[in-house]
Amino acid sequence: MFGGLGVGELVVIALLLLLLFGAKRIPQIARGLGEAIRNFKSDVKDPDRLTQGEDSQGESGDDRS
């Protein structure tokens, strides 16, 4: 199924996560992971966007000096 993991193994992993982090913390972890993946994908698609943002920040920092 998922790289050789069956349904039984996924259930065990889900139960371990529930025991370790609790029911309230799991949605926060999933949300943060989803946001990180989204940011990574957008940076991979448009790497110039990241460097352009750094250039504009660098220029504004030079003006204050």
pLDDT tens track, the chain, 65 positions: 567 889 999 999 999 999 999 989 989 999 999 999 999 999 888 877 766 655 555 555 555 54
- Is residue 33 within 8 Å of 26, Cβ to Cβ? no
- Distance (Å, whole) CA 26 – CA 17: 8
User: What's the pTM?
Assistant: 0.53
Instruction: Show the DSSP H helices in 1-65 as ranges.
Output: 7-21, 25-45, 47-64
Assign 54 to helix, strand or coil.
helix
- 5: alpha, beta or left, given left = phi > 0 and alpha = psi -120 to 50? beta
